[in-house]
Amino acid sequence: MSASLVNKSVLFIIVTIFVTLQLMVGVVSGSFLDTDVTFSNSLLVPITIHCQDKNHDDGFHVLNPGDFLTVKFTRDFLTRTLRVCSFKWEKEIHYIDIYVQKRHSCNECRWMIRTNGLCLNIFPDIQCYPWNDKVLEALK
Residue 116's pLDDT band (boundaries 50, 70, 90)?
very high
Residues 64 and 49 sit within 8 Å (Cβ to Cβ)? no
CA proximity to 108, closest of 39, 26, 29, 24: 39
| ∠ Cα 39 43 46 (to 5°) | 80
CB atoms within 10 A of CB 46: 14
72 pLDDT above the threshold of 80: yes
Model-wide pTM > 0.85: no
Average pLDDT, the chain: 78
CA distance 135 to 140: 10
CA distance 106 to 64: 25
Domain extents in the chain: 34-139
**Higher pLDDT pick, 84 / 7:** 84
**Higher pLDDT pick, 82 / 19:** 82
**CATH fold group of domain 34-139:** Immunoglobulin-like (2.60.40)
Instruction: Kindly report the backbone phi and psi dihedral angles of residue 82, in degrees, each rounded to the nearest multiple of 5, phi listed first.
Output: -135, 120
4 pLDDT above the threshold of 60: yes
129 pLDDT above the threshold of 80: yes
pLDDT digits (tens, 9 = 90+) for 5-32: 556 776 667 656 655 555 554 444 445 6
Q: pLDDT over 90 for what percent of the chain?
A: 34
Residues 85 and 136 sit within 8 Å (Cβ to Cβ)? no
CA proximity to 48, closest of 95, 1, 8: 95
CA distance 119 to 42: 11
Instruction: Kindly report the backbone phi and psi dihedral angles of residue 109, in degrees, each rounded to the nearest multiple of 5, phi listed first.
Output: -95, 130
